[in-house]
Structure 1
Amino acid sequence: MTRSLPLRLAFGAALLPVVLAACLPLAKKVPTGAEDFATYCAACHGDAGKGDGPMADTLDKRPADLTRISAKNHGTFPMARVMSKIWGYARTPDGVVMPQFAPLLEGEKMVLFDSGDGIQTPTPLRLVQLGEYVRDMQAK
């Protein structure tokens, strides 16, 4: 028993979206700031950001207590400076061993971000989310 050409075409047309969907790359889920912190920061800075992670005692210089950034900055959270430090742009020769986050963000989604100067700057979404996560952990 042979199928007619119209039936074959209809069957093929019905399968086309399934085949195309299987060939398209899956949408990549963007990690949250909390997820990136747990993955890349908590080992040294600790789950709560107090500088007491399991790797802290193995380092020459103790990791910063991230919950005190605003307190050390007269009650204001310096978002641009913090994001710059995370990104790896603000490096100082003081023996800081914090790895650069920038290589992890290559090709990532960009968003417009205003760090307070009124200028919307294209910035990796994950960097903004991580900066906001650190901002939200400030001691009250």
Structure 2
Amino acid sequence: SRLIGKNGLYEPLIEFAGGVFATCAGMVLIADRVDDPRVRTLGLIPMHVARNAFGRQINSRETLLNIAGLTDPFRAVFIRAPAATEVGSGVEVLARIPEGIVVVRHGRHMAFAFHPELGGDLRLHRTFLEGLGI
């Protein structure tokens, strides 16, 4: 969030007409509330996010995750991951695990507590783009 502010990117990101595909720390930034007062969020998805909800680096892990809309589980790589603890009106929860909510969609935006770009499975990227009509 410091670099976003330093580079004057808050307004351009908030006003961007396309969607945001937010992964890991991006889930923290796209939220409207976070458990760390040092973080200034973009406020694009009404949800509360806990940073490092999984604990320290040693608690990072991979798991097969059932995600609404996908027929087969997705291999999710969680690295010092956040998790949403609550979501607001209009936020669609697509996956949750004991640590919290890990996949959400809100309008043109999607947020993931893990790194869907690792592993070569493009289903979530396709889901995001299809939601934008691309």
Report TM bin, short chain. Answer: under 0.3
Normalised by the length of structure 2, the TM-score is 0.26
* Structure with max Cα Rg: 1
User: What is the TM-score normalised by the length of structure 1?
Assistant: 0.25
Q: By percentage of residues, which structure has more helix?
A: 1
Q: Compare the two structures and name the one with the higher strand fraction.
A: 2
